[in-house]
Amino acid sequence: MRKGLMILLALFASNLAISAEEEIKTIGDLTYAKYEEQELKLDLHRLKKRARPLPCIVTVHGGGWLGGSRKSWEKIARDLALEGFVVANISYRLAEEAKFPGAVLDCKAAVRWLRANHEKLGIDPNRIAGVGGSAGGHLIAMAATTVGNPDFKDGKNNSEESDALSSIVIMGSGVDQVSRVLESKSKSIANCVIFFGAEYHENPEIYKEASPITHLSKSTPPILMMDGEKDKPGQRYGDFRKKLDSLGVKNEFVMIPRAAHGEWGKEAYRPLFVKEMVKFFRSNF
């Protein structure tokens, strides 16, 4: 009897999942930026039956700037789409394709492309936010804090549009690359050397320039920081949050129980991470 009930419940849950999938329209491999012969792509997810302009979320994968794929964020993107957002799940140039600030410029180009095409995509251009994990969180934080900064403009790819974001969520992300490398035992972090093109002692200024904490201002949008309980919860954000508070910028921190670094997409924890994202985005659009 109990076994039969469990089977029925499993089938019910499976049917719910299928029904939810059928509600989402996905348009894959859209080109949002071009650099010489390279095209950068994104996948767009949205509810099929929601016709009015919807708020949009840009999702940015991690991988230490060296690897990773937007496909790893597909389930999160679809979860967010089910909540009524248009979700742009992007790829970007990795460190061995473009040194810093290449990937930051890519994130900003994605925002501009969405704004330039908002009418045909059904997006509200005044409500575009971003979320990223690990290196992806660093990139979306850099994009959000350097709006209007001439050092982060490339004059290409819908350059006339704004790349401003309404709010961002970052998870397990380094916001102060100077402190990060100085606190490491060797005073060197391999992926930083590749992305920034130098050891810290060779070019400390680029580590400072590559730190979101450097670019915080009163115009910085609201920021939610999330860590798993097994991912040094809150330790990365101490000075960052103090500076946000001093500037009067809204910020929050949430810890997800039992989760480790990078487990925001894991079945056991994804609903918890997504629930907090949705609550934060809705309160800040």
pLDDT digit string (tens) for 46-104?
999 867 899 999 999 999 999 999 999 999 999 999 999 999 999 999 999 999 999 99
Residue type, 259: A
Yes or no: say if 87 and 80 are a contact pair by the CB < 8 Å rule. yes
Cα separation, 44 vs 127, whole angstroms:
16
- pLDDT, residue 7, reads 45
Task: Tell whether the model's pLDDT for residue 10 goes beyond 80.
Answer: no
Q: What integer is the mean pLDDT of 159-181?
A: 98
| Residues 244-257 pLDDT 10s | 999 999 999 999 99
Query: Which of 78, 70, 75, 55 has its CA nearest to residue 129?
Result: 55
Yes or no: say if 58 and 90 are a contact pair by the CB < 8 Å rule. yes
The Cα-based distances of 14 to 10, 18, 19, 273 in angstroms read 6, 6, 9, 21
Yes or no: say if 212 and 138 are a contact pair by the CB < 8 Å rule. yes
- pLDDT, residue 49, reads 83
Quick one: pLDDT band at residue 21, thresholds 50, 70, 90? low
Task: Tell whether the model's pLDDT for residue 13 goes beyond 50.
Answer: no
| Residues 184-242 pLDDT 10s | 999 999 999 999 999 999 999 999 999 999 999 999 999 999 999 999 999 999 999 99
Task: Tell whether the model's pLDDT for residue 12 goes beyond 80.
Answer: no
> pTM for the full model?
0.92
Query: If DSSP codes are grouped into helix, strand and coil, which group holds residue 132?
Result: strand
Residue with tokens 């985005």: 281
Residue type, 195: F
Question: HSE (CB half, 13 Å, CA atoms) of 157?
Answer: 23
Query: Which of 59, 236, 34, 29 has its CA nearest to residue 143?
Result: 59
